[in-house]
Amino acid sequence: MIHFQAQRRFTVLVLTAIALIALTVTGCQPEKLAGPPEKVTIAYSTASNAILMYIAFAKNYFGEEGLEATPQPHAFGKPALQAVIEGQADIATVGDTPIVFAVMDGKKITTLAMIQTANKNEAIVARRDHGITKPSDLKGKKIGLTLGTTGDFFADSFLLAHGIDRKHIKIIDLKPDEMAAALAAEKVDAVSTWNPTLIQLKKKLGSKGIIFFGESFYTEIFCVVSGQEYVKKNPTAIKKVLRALLKAEIFVQQYPEESRRLVAEFIKTDKVILDETWDIFTFRVTLDQALLVDFEDQSRWAIKHRLASRRDMPNYLDFIYVDGLQAVKPAAVRIVR
């Protein structure tokens, strides 16, 4: 009888433990809500700088999170952000510089997360046959760049580091897809841009070209942003988007070769270029103190050159949405508030 009671108590303990484990596992799973999936339109750059977003679409991670995500491709990040500002998209992927200009111009946007960084994705490509063999030779030259983008900030930072003021060059505003023709027609002496345009121009110029990087003074930060009003009304959708991107982060880390194949198919680009540039990027969903430092540095630059309407430093904590990432991965948030 005593043996039977002991056995029964043991059985109850085992069943209780199993129940507790089941509850714990269930609690870690994405929240499953009844009804149709939430709809979200995501504008993204196809310039190989939103890898985690491409993977999230290609692997249907948004669908797994209960989202009906509509992809909206753009040639680069600035027009993707503009789609959010104009209400044509809910979320966008964009580099740090357009975010700063939007905030400085009074746009009600907010950054949800950093998803990709690189300190060798920006460079100046110049024509050797125009007498450019070292950075100082850029003084007095015509430089093509896309105003209000990372290529704009990089060029200014690079030139300043080599003793050349912005007023000592002639800036030609060009879209990335206009740069090859402008260089070929010798309408510009150099261009400041990013990949894949960067590597394409380098190959096209061959021995006639020279490339200048600036790894030590600029790290490009690519982010996910949204409108403040959308975030306020749709906090659940934001968490689902971030969870999908975190899944993509794990997949990219575990399967880099398969990731490059999926990305090449999704944005219809040459996988060879992805293979060449892949290792310059860090793919991680995070909110880091470095983002605040970067935003403030670029704001000082914009104020100094009177490139934006605002003349004082914004409080960028008002333009970063911490709660979303804090809810789905607290360890990824390293911003001091």
Q: Is residue 8 part of a domain?
A: no
- For residue 95, CA distances in Å to 122, 157, 333 come to 12, 16, 19
Residues 314, 226 share a domain: yes
Whether 38 contacts 62, CB under 8 Å: no
Q: Exposed, middle or buried, 173 (CB in 10 Å: 0-12/13-18/19+)?
A: exposed
Q: What pLDDT does residue 336 have? A: 87
**0.85 exceeded by pTM:** yes
pLDDT in tens, 127-138: 999 999 999 999
CATH at residue 97: 3.40.190.10
Q: Which of 181, 213, 245 is the last residue of a domain?
A: 213
Q: What pLDDT does residue 34 have? A: 52
Q: For residues 62 and 69, what is the distance between their CA atoms, to the nearest angstrom?
A: 6
pLDDT in tens, 254-301: 999 999 999 999 999 999 999 999 999 999 999 999 999 999 999 999
Confidence band of 247 (pLDDT split at 50, 70, 90): very high
Looking at every residue in the chain, the average pLDDT score rounds to 91
Confidence band of 36 (pLDDT split at 50, 70, 90): confident
| Per-residue pLDDT at 103 exceeds 90 | yes
pLDDT in tens, 305-331: 999 989 999 999 999 999 999 999 999
Query: How many domains are contained in the chain?
Result: 2
Q: Exposed, middle or buried, 72 (CB in 10 Å: 0-12/13-18/19+)?
A: middle
Residues 224, 179 share a domain: no
Residues 130, 106 share a domain: no
Q: What pLDDT does residue 171 have? A: 97
pLDDT in tens, 151-181: 999 999 999 999 999 999 999 999 999 999 9
Q: What pLDDT does residue 35 have? A: 67
Residues 287, 227 share a domain: yes
Q: What pLDDT does residue 114 have? A: 98
Q: What pLDDT does residue 337 have? A: 79
Q: For residues 5 and 101, what is the distance between their CA atoms, to the nearest angstrom?
A: 73
Q: Picking from 9-13, 40-44, 75-79, which range would have the lowest pLDDT averaged per residue?
A: 9-13
| Per-residue pLDDT at 28 exceeds 50 | no
Whether 108 contacts 84, CB under 8 Å: no
Q: Is residue 310 part of a domain?
A: yes
Q: Is residue 147 part of a domain?
A: yes
Domain with 53 in it: 38-118+220-334
Q: Is residue 304 part of a domain?
A: yes
Q: Which tokens is 34 given?
A: 């009844």
Residues 112, 144 share a domain: no
Q: Is residue 22 part of a domain?
A: no
Higher local confidence (pLDDT), 90 or 24: 90
